Amino acid sequence: MPLAADLADLPPERRRTLRPLEPCGRAGLRPSRHEAEAGAAAQGPLLDLASNDYLGLACHPQLQRAAVAAISRDGVGAGASRLVSGSRPVHEQLEQALGAWLGRPRVLLFPSGFQANLAAVQALADRHTLVLADRLIHHSLLVGVKASGARLQRFAHNDLTALQQKLERARQEAPGRRLLVLSESLFSMQGTSPDVPRLAELCRRHGAALLLDEAHALGVLGPGGRGLGHGLAGVSLISGTFGKAFGSGGAFLAGDVLVGDWLLQHSGPFRYTTALAPPLAAGALAALEWIRHDPDRGLALLERARRWRDGLEAAGWPRPPGHGPILPLLVGSDQRALALQEALERAGMLSVAIRPPTVPEGSARLRLVLRHDLPAGSLERLLTALGSP
């Protein structure tokens, strides 16, 4: 069978496994009892340098109380799609609150970011569209392009001069053609961000729609944590998730009334799926209120990220690019990335080796992720465990 052959050809350093971990207090994870008994993991708690819970909200009492209240009121699951009987008041409350916070007239919730990105691309592109996408965009966006039937061209990562040249050439070749640009405000494996104001202006000038994935930026980057696309007229549609800085789960699209209504009437990823679980929506709404009233926590996290970058560079490691809470430590080979992952775990820290095909060949890395609730001295522990470059 082709499946068996594909698996047989997979080298050991590229094989993935599922690993159960249990929260155990401040910014910590503990291997499951079964795993610990099997001797497959370090004993004791692991400092979490891997998850995307940037603001430490996933176990925040305010979110937990909101989720428990939603379970008592609405049940664990919605039981149906939004267009059947799955809509709950908490869904509408969250959509309206997000719209007001982001300055976007229409917001629709989705059970996952993957579904939201599929829906977004299909709303803005069809087989007559040319899509210009950053070479390192998320896989879900590429799947959306394929599903839409659009033609795809890639441009070098965050290279807006290359994008401008492609936009100019596209307009010369077919002045009336639909154009869609895909990018992210904070790339999850690179830690980098484009010049979003320039990106939006390029799209506006050339009449191209811009879909900006803000999944990893919301809550941390931009004014009040509203993302790097906030307030920019050239951004047609924003994709965001609740499973990162919001500490919950699910996702949303935020745009204008026209795109929102099209999604409601035509989007398969929205219409043909069970609605976002009410406890997750309630948790996300509580997180939004928390972020609105304490925007300085995101700024403090960015300042801490700067200190970590300075410390890693001073210790002789390549300075992680970007300025957000994602700090990729590029080491090159899969084997070295895995060896560093194991060294950190022996020292009581969890950071996962990211290998191809998630990242380009030869660019395996440790993906270090900062959380607001990391204890003091975490950087020093990390540098000791990493040793010499």
Q: Interhelix angle for 278-293 vs 61-74, to 10°?
A: 150
Among 51, 112, 140, 188, which one carries the catalytic annotation?
188
Q: Are 205 and 214 in contact (CB under 8 A)?
A: no
| 3-state SS record for 7-72 | HHCCCHHHCCCCCCEEECCCCEEEECHHHHHCCCCCCCCEEECCCCCCCCCCCCHHHHHHHHHHHH
Token pair 């004014």 in the structure block, residue? 223
Question: Exposure of 325 by Cβ count < 10 A (0-12 exposed, 13-18 middle, 19+ buried)?
Answer: buried
Catalytic one among 184, 214, 334, 373?
184
- Is 158 an annotated catalytic residue? no
**Catalytic one among 48, 51, 52, 158?**
52
Question: Among the options 60, 216, 230, 372, which is catalytic?
Answer: 216
Which one of 138, 166, 230, 372 is the catalytic residue?
Answer: 138
Catalytic entry in 193, 244, 334, 373: 244
Among residues 335, 333, 340, which one has the least CA distance to residue 366?
Answer: 340
Instruction: Tell me, yes or no, if 216 is annotated catalytic.
Output: yes
The yes-or-no answer on residue 117 being catalytic is no
SS3 label, residue 101: helix
Of 276, 274, 269, give the one whose Cα is nearest residue 248: 276
Residue 282 CB-half CA count within 13 A = 23
Considering the candidates 213, 214, 334, 373, report the single residue annotated as catalytic. Answer: 213
Q: 139: buried, middle or exposed (CB in 10 Å: 19+, 13-18, 0-12)? A: exposed
- Here the tokens at position 243 are 């499973």
| 177 to 112, 180, 237: CA distances (angstroms) | 31, 10, 19
- Residues 88 and 70: their CA atoms lie apart, in Å, by 10
Active-site residue list: 52, 138, 184, 188, 213, 216, 244
